[in-house]
Amino acid sequence: MPISRAKISTLKPWDIALIGIPFDDHSSFLKGPSNAPPLIIEAIESDSANYFTEDLIDLEDHPNVCWLGNASLRDYFDIESIIAEILKRGAIPFSIGGDHSITYPILKAMSASYSNLSILHFDAHGDLYDSLDGNRHSHASPFARIMEEGLSQALIQVGIRTLNDHQQTQANKFGVKVIDMRNWSPDIELNLSGSVYLSFDMDVLDPAFAPGVSHHEPGGFTTREVLRMIQKLDLNIVGLDLVEYNPNRDLNGITAMTAAKIIKELLAKMLSLNKSF
């Protein structure tokens, strides 16, 4: 049996709803992430591996983990209403992107359900541009929109290694805590309280571990470092996304498999933290 299939209308409270967001219109450099979601689910269900997480939670046909398939989107702004529908069922949305621009409409829906949201953001890039190439919805800009609209009260970014003058100014303006890659250490504390949204850009990994991304930025995390951080998290996570897998750049599907592994460990974390299961 694979990962359970479901529709939004059949979601139960506290289900973790995996939903594909096949959208890359706001990618600045290369297209490709719109094709990512089903390929990542295929990797989770690959016969080359099993469904157990490292702490022995069996995700096969798990009653609280549901794959909703790709969202059908007429435009970018439909993302907000689809996430709002999932939240209305009391479920936890886990969006599989898509480029990083999707996090802004997702946060519009999240902030309507949760006040005092904080964001934990893994990325090689700050994605704080006021606009890029004249596009204020660029995948390089979602956190500028989120912070200026007050959709989140705090933003911590981990793994950043591409700051420039403009983005440093933006980070200061919005009070963003940037844990850049060169100052990161495994025992660093991620002090976040209240409800937390986790946004994971695949390019936070070193391109040696995840070549299937549009922007190769050397000097990033190993897969094991990321898994250790995930396994150590003790936060009230109420929504997640994993974005920027670009299958056109992948080598033998290794990045899809790495995305699958990270999703499995994030699901394990969610299932172990949520006392209502």
For 150, the token pair is 């007050």
Options 73-81, 117-125, 147-155, 265-273: segment touching Mn ion (CB under 5 A): 117-125
* Contact between 248 and 37 (Cβ < 8 Å): no
Stretch 194-213 residues interacting with Mn ion (CB under 5 A): 201, 203
Q: What is the DSSP letter of 103?
A: H
Least distance (Å) between residue 127 CB and Mn ion: 4
DSSP β-ladder status, 195-201 and 236-243? parallel
Options 15-23, 127-135, 145-153, 169-177: segment touching Mn ion (CB under 5 A): 127-135
Among 15, 80, 85, 127, binds Mn ion (CB under 5 A): 127
Options 18-26, 100-108, 178-186, 261-269: segment touching Mn ion (CB under 5 A): 100-108
Q: What is the DSSP letter of 243?
A: E
* Contact between 192 and 156 (Cβ < 8 Å): yes
Rounded CA-CA distance 54/216 in Å is 28
Least distance (Å) between residue 51 CB and Mn ion: 29
Which CB sits closer to Mn ion, 57 or 212? Answer: 212
Which CB sits closer to Mn ion, 100 or 261? Answer: 100
Which CB sits closer to Mn ion, 67 or 197? Answer: 197
Least distance (Å) between residue 124 CB and Mn ion: 5
Least distance (Å) between residue 125 CB and Mn ion: 4
For 152, the token pair is 């989140």
Size of the site for Mn ion (CB under 5 A): 7
- What DSSP assignment string belongs to 118-136? EEEEE-SS----S-BTTBT
Among 26, 62, 89, 125, binds Mn ion (CB under 5 A): 125
Place of tokens 């009653």: 63
Least distance (Å) between residue 161 CB and Mn ion: 10
- Tally the residues of the chain: 277
* Contact between 149 and 241 (Cβ < 8 Å): no
Options 61-69, 108-116, 122-130, 269-277: segment touching Mn ion (CB under 5 A): 122-130
Under the binding rule (CB under 5 A), the answer on residue 26 touching Mn ion is no
3-state secondary structure labels for all residues of 170-202: HHHHHCCEEEEHHHCCCCCCCCCCCEEEEEEEH
Binding site for Mn ion (CB under 5 A): 100, 123-125, 127, 201, 203
